[in-house]
């Protein structure tokens, strides 16, 4: 039994709004029914949020995990690692974010993932007949979902997976009960990924807009978007350095697409592509970047409440994390205490007064 902590006189984000001031008690790592505790923390003038979920990061070291946790990111979804053993070595650390991972990303032979970004040669998928092998390897090492790099074959030639291979990866993943996340930064890649039946699109095209008709059709098919506006903004500003895009790339396309997704009712999850990899197109700081992402989501049309939902209750429900994402009895005490009212001013998420990870206060 650990010492119980009561956060008193605090307005609680219940997934839709802030409640009246109340007391939230943490005991043994979870939210307790108790009304009193050995220790009290004043929550006055503050708002208590569920710990934030970043639905797109890359973890290479304990420092990455520490930086993210310091900003209230208590769950991190790794979307591509050179080795699942690396992801596993970072799991289950007291006082640090809880993680899920894909392990290696599937990409085409000759793509930059294997030639420049540190993925092993075995992560290249040679064709539809090779899809079962790739997925079986991920299942064996305990991947939580499958990540596939989808590029535009007109720009990348044979270094882009074709639709038949992506579809075979989706089929094998779904047979294993795993969702498929597709990396798409161009409109053609996005169409190929959705035609192949992927579940989640991550990034947003920076070469053209998804229009309202297409957005509505994706919403009908239950496609989920993790637009990583933080990364798309960074990539667009560096466009001339990148081999995969021409001079046509523009952050405004990513904004317009995310806005169309929002209007059409596509589920949007907050994710940053946070990484400290020297091989990445742009370094994105773990943790702080999620607060940028929330603001960028508000800029394209989400209300502050919807932005908060995109980093808490919505990803928890979508990925089946039934133990978190909302503040209620029995859930993990992953909590972020901030000053002010982030349901009206999203920037208030940065005014951090306290962070708990499974009941352990870390800030």
Interface contacts to Zn ion, rule CB under 5 A: 79, 273
Distance in Å from the first CA to the final CA of the chain: 21
Task: Tell me the closest approach of the beta carbon of residue 273 to Zn ion, in angstroms.
Answer: 4
Determine the 3-state secondary structure of 83 from DSSP: coil
47 or 79: CB nearest Zn ion: 79
Backbone angles phi, psi at 178, to 5 degrees: -110, 140
Task: Tell me the closest approach of the beta carbon of residue 284 to Zn ion, in angstroms.
Answer: 9
98 or 273: CB nearest Zn ion: 273
To 10 degrees, the CA torsion angle through 169, 166, 190, 304?
Answer: 10
273 or 293: CB nearest Zn ion: 273
Backbone angles phi, psi at 302, to 5 degrees: -65, 145
Task: Tell me the closest approach of the beta carbon of residue 13 to Zn ion, in angstroms.
Answer: 28
43 or 68: CB nearest Zn ion: 68
Backbone angles phi, psi at 301, to 5 degrees: 130, -20
78 or 98: CB nearest Zn ion: 78
Cβ-contact 270, 289 below 8 angstroms: no
Nearest to 113 by CA among 156, 52, 56: 156
Task: Tell me the closest approach of the beta carbon of residue 280 to Zn ion, in angstroms.
Answer: 8
Nearest to 112 by CA among 160, 174, 163: 160
Task: Tell me the closest approach of the beta carbon of residue 212 to Zn ion, in angstroms.
Answer: 27
Nearest to 59 by CA among 242, 311, 315, 280: 280
């Amino acid at each position: 039994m650990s010492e119980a902590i009561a956060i008193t006189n605090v307005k609680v984000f219940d997934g839709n709004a802030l409640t009246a001031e109340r007391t939230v008690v943490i005991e043994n790592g979870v939210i307790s029914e108790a009304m009193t505790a050995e220790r009290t923390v004043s929550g006055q003038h503050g708002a208590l949020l569920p710990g934030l979920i970043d639905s797109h990061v890359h973890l290479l070291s304990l420092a990455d995990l520490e930086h993210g946790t310091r900003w209230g990111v208590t769950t991190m979804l790794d979307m591509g690692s050179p080795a699942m053993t690396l992801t596993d070595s970072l799991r289950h650390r007291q006082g640090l974010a809880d993680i899920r991972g894909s392990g290696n990303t599937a990409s085409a032979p000759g793509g930059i993932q294997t030639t420049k970004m540190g993925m092993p040669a075995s992560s290249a998928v040679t064709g539809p007949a090779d899809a079962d092998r790739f997925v079986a390897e991920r299942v064996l090492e305990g991947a939580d979902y499958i990540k596939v790099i989808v590029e535009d074959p007109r720009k990348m030639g044979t270094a882009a997976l074709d639709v038949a291979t992506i579809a075979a990866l989706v089929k094998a993943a779904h047979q294993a009960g795993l969702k498929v996340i597709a990396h798409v930064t161009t409109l053609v890649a996005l169409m190929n990924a959705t035609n192949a039946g992927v579940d989640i699109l991550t990034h947003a095209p920076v070469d053209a807009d998804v229009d309202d008709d297409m957005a509505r059709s994706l919403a009908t098919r239950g496609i989920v978007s993790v637009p990583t506006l933080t990364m798309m903004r960074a990539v667009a500003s560096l466009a001339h350095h990148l081999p995969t895009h021409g001079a046509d790339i523009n952050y405004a396309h990513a904004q317009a697409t995310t806005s169309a997704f929002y209007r059409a009712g596509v589920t949007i999850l907050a994710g940053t592509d946070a990484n400290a990899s020297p091989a990445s197109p742009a370094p994105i700081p773990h943790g702080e970047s999620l607060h940028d992402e929330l603001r960028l989501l508000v800029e394209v049309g989400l209300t502050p409440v919807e932005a908060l939902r995109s980093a808490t209750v919505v990803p928890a429900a979508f990925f089946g994390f039934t133990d978190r994402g909302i503040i209620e009895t029995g859930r993990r005490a992953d909590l972020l205490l901030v000053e002010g009212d982030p349901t009206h001013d999203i920037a208030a998420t940065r005014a951090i007064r306290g962070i708990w990870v499974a009941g352990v206060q870390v800030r």
